[in-house]
Structure 1
Amino acid sequence: MKIVYCIHGTFNSGGMEKIIINKANYLVEKGFEVFIITTEQKKRKSFFKINDNIKCYDLDINYEDENNTSFLKKFISFQRKQKLHKERLEKILNKIKADIVISTFGNEVNFLYAIKDGSKKLLEIHFSKFFRKQLQRHGIWSIVDKYRSYIDNIKARKYDKFVVLTNEDKGYWKEMKNITVIPNFISLPEEISRLENKRAIAVGRLSYQKGYERMIKAWSIVNKHYPEWKLDIFGNGEDLDYINNMINNLDLKDSITIHPPTTAIGEEYKKSSIFLLSSRYEGLPMVLLEAMSYGLAIVTYDCKCGPKDIISKENGILVNEGDISFFADSIIKLIENNDRMKNLAKKAREDAYNYSKEVVMNKWIDLFNEIISTSK
């Protein structure tokens, strides 16, 4: 079976890039023929290792070149690049003759379903239905986000299958017959944290979505009570200067350290005791699942979507969205109650098995077989 993944690029260290590459690697090891088609690669090296048997193509569209231009210029450029994108993608798909082509909700979502190359078309989303609205952009961009959210609903119905990450998100899409839920998977480590270090960890892009300023405000409260505890954040992004300035202004530079992304993040989990997630929105936060698999105690906001599907009273602490005081208090209570920290971490590790590679990828393979069998 030939499987094609369409994604913007593989050069970033983000959760979506990581899971797409991991899925592709798994499938090719199982005998599938796998292709990855990108639009923004610009000959940059993949951040995560891609199996040598996977064929990678870049269409050289580069939508991101217009990110910092005016609305009008961006709109005109987008229309032109959409036309070019469809032409180039259609040409390569007719050459590949795939069985299944998957959109990861990139710009190809607008037309992939209409390309007549003989393949079945799948759409998978790595955020929640409301991710555009949760950007909280203003002015004309607010109107654009509302319109595109409306269009998302129409386009998703045109695909043979639409895969969301959580049951919570499935409920928001309403009565969509082609929708199904398959979470992302994690690789379960053999060695886990001993919960001995006075260290909390956060992992993810330094962006509005991840809400780090809310975490830092909470940590300033924790720091007043337990200055010996440290917070290490692993990530980069457009908010780096803003977050660093906030750390300095709150006099937390000796308590909080920002590190660049690392492919050896497992070693960092093992040296930590508490994992923090302050996102405004997610799809299914992979770093949360990874932290659970390493046996860390979890404190997370109840954002849309993901944490509610994963976290219970037995395996972590789910904080009402935006409640900074309770977020801080939850961390403090874990620090003060080592037995509770260990009990939550133990259950988190156990529940992480529900998201193992074999369990999740068998669901994908079953879905592929189901789609192919219905076309015969």
Structure 2
Amino acid sequence: MKLLYCIPRLDTSGGIERVVVNKINYYVQECGYEVTVVTYRQQNRENFFKLDSRVRQINLDAPYPISYEQLSFFKRIIPFRKVNAYLMTKLNQIVSETAFDYCISILMDDIAIIPKLTDSSIKVGECHGILNEIVYCYRHSETFFQKLKWFLRLKKFHFFSKKFDVLVFLTQEESKLLNYSIPLEIIPNFIVCTPLNDEFFQFNNSKTAVSAGHLIPLKGHARLLDAWRLVVDKCSDAHLDIYGSGSEEETLLLKIRELKLTDNVTIKKPLKDLENHYGRYSLTLLASYYEGFSMVCLESLAKAVPVIAYNVPCGLQHILKGNNGGVLVEDDNANAFSAAVIELLESRELQRKQKQKAFSRAKDYNIEIIMHQWQKLFFKI
């Protein structure tokens, strides 16, 4: 079987990039598929996560303006037309040279292009929470122009996504935001779940917590710091490590100083093997305003590390349903969040129970289980 994957870039440390790379490697290593990956915003930068050497990667240097990220939504329209025309030409050339069985998009900038490709491959749209993000930003826009921008992005998503042969969502809730006649499938993210030594299930008295993700407003690190200040008021030796990089880093460093948390919070650079470091922490904390299907959460559970998170759409509500492996806290309730953190840091019995539940829950998303669903989908459509 031959697959073509289209994704803007693989040089960043995000959850989407990690999932896509792990999935592609599984297709090659376990299924024997031939996979070609096309990136178009990477500009020949090195991949953050390692692809199997048998994967063919094509980096298309699409003509995005240097200042594209700083342009307003409306000022992007003209350069984006040039990008679309360029990608259409290049992708049609690629599919004309190889007879792909499936062409897979993660529904980003190429959402308008993939369904129009002239080959006979089945077009699959793989939604990693982008629709949930658009809807969230639309509903929480503070100005008319912000609301208009996200309204137009939502209309664009609706218009082009229905042209795919099948759409795959991480959760049922996100799929319900659409009302299409095309097939909609639900396949969550996965985790590599390996047996753990007994020490992983013992009480961790280090009073350390970890969080990870792009340092951008939607990840909620600012409100996480507010809650952590309340934790430190009760547990002065508690320490939080935040792994990530992004536009909000300087703002967060300033907030850490303002809250007098310089001895209790450290911002660290992203790690390629962060999943191997979760086990030394007592807890994982997530304060995002929404989540697709958090890899940080899944990777923590796989190391028997309980997760405390705000109850936001959509994936966390499934993973931590019934407080299995952690605690879902009322959204934006810093007092409840900090209370849950303190209780799990200090209670030996509760922490041990949640560690057992965490690892048990992670097994439900083991890679073999989830990738079997993808294989069934390919042979069904």
Q: 2:338 aligns with which of 328, 345, 350?
A: 328
Deviation of the 1:171 alpha carbon: 2.7
Match of 1:67 in 2: 69
Question: Distance between the aligned counterparts of 2:10 and 2:324, measured in 1?
Answer: 36
Q: 1:201 aligns with which of 206, 210, 226?
A: 210
Match of 1:5 in 2: 5
Question: Distance between the aligned counterparts of 1:107 and 1:304, measured in 2?
Answer: 24
Match of 1:88 in 2: 90
Deviation of the 1:189 alpha carbon: 3.6
Name the stretch that deviates more: 75-84 or 37-46.
75-84
Q: Does 1:286 align with 2:280?
A: no
**Which stretches in structure 2 are left out of the alignment for 5+ residues?**
none
Q: Does 1:156 align with 2:158?
A: no
Deviation of the 1:248 alpha carbon: 0.6
Question: Distance between the aligned counterparts of 2:194 and 2:267, measured in 1?
Answer: 24
Question: Distance between the aligned counterparts of 2:75 and 2:224, measured in 1?
Answer: 36
Q: How many residues align?
A: 371
Question: Distance between the aligned counterparts of 1:40 and 1:151, measured in 2?
Answer: 20
Question: Distance between the aligned counterparts of 2:146 and 2:85, measured in 1?
Answer: 22
Q: Does 1:111 align with 2:116?
A: no
Q: 2:170 aligns with which of 165, 170, 185?
A: 165
Match of 2:281 in 1: 272
Match of 2:189 in 1: 184
Identical columns (%): 29
Q: Does 1:32 align with 2:37?
A: no
Match of 1:18 in 2: 18
Q: 2:100 aligns with which of 98, 101, 104?
A: 98
Deviation of the 1:254 alpha carbon: 0.2
Deviation of the 1:241 alpha carbon: 0.3
- Deviations along 1:51-80, one digit per CA (max 9) or x if unpaired, are 111000012115473111344432211112
Q: 1:256 aligns with which of 252, 257, 265?
A: 265
Name the stretch that deviates more: 245-254 or 143-152.
143-152
Which amino acid is 2:18 matched to?
A: K
Question: Distance between the aligned counterparts of 1:129 and 1:9, measured in 2?
Answer: 19
SS at structure 2 position matched to 1:318: strand
SS at structure 2 position matched to 1:129: helix
Q: Does 1:357 align with 2:350?
A: no
Q: Is the 8 A contact 1:276 1:300 kept in 2?
A: yes
TM-score relative to the length of structure 2? 0.93
Q: Is the 8 A contact 1:128 1:305 kept in 2?
A: no
Q: Is the 8 A contact 2:36 2:56 kept in 1?
A: yes
Q: Is the 8 A contact 1:133 1:142 kept in 2?
A: no
Q: Is the 8 A contact 1:128 1:281 kept in 2?
A: no
SS at structure 2 position matched to 1:215: helix
Distance 1:128 1:77, change over 3 A: closer
SS at structure 2 position matched to 1:355: coil
Which amino acid is 2:4 matched to?
A: V
Q: Is the 8 A contact 1:13 1:261 kept in 2?
A: yes
Name the stretch that deviates more: 122-131 or 50-59.
122-131
Question: Distance between the aligned counterparts of 2:27 and 2:145, measured in 1?
Answer: 42
Question: Distance between the aligned counterparts of 2:354 and 2:178, measured in 1?
Answer: 32
Match of 1:123 in 2: 125
Question: Distance between the aligned counterparts of 1:359 and 1:234, measured in 2?
Answer: 29
Deviation of the 1:46 alpha carbon: 0.5
Question: Distance between the aligned counterparts of 1:72 and 1:287, measured in 2?
Answer: 34
Deviation of the 1:158 alpha carbon: 1.6
Question: Distance between the aligned counterparts of 2:308 and 2:254, measured in 1?
Answer: 24
Distance 1:175 1:89, change over 3 A: closer
Q: Is the 8 A contact 1:269 1:296 kept in 2?
A: yes
Deviation of the 1:175 alpha carbon: 5.5
Q: Is the 8 A contact 2:311 2:328 kept in 1?
A: yes
Name the stretch that deviates more: 169-178 or 353-362.
169-178
Name the stretch that deviates more: 343-352 or 191-200.
191-200
Match of 1:374 in 2: none
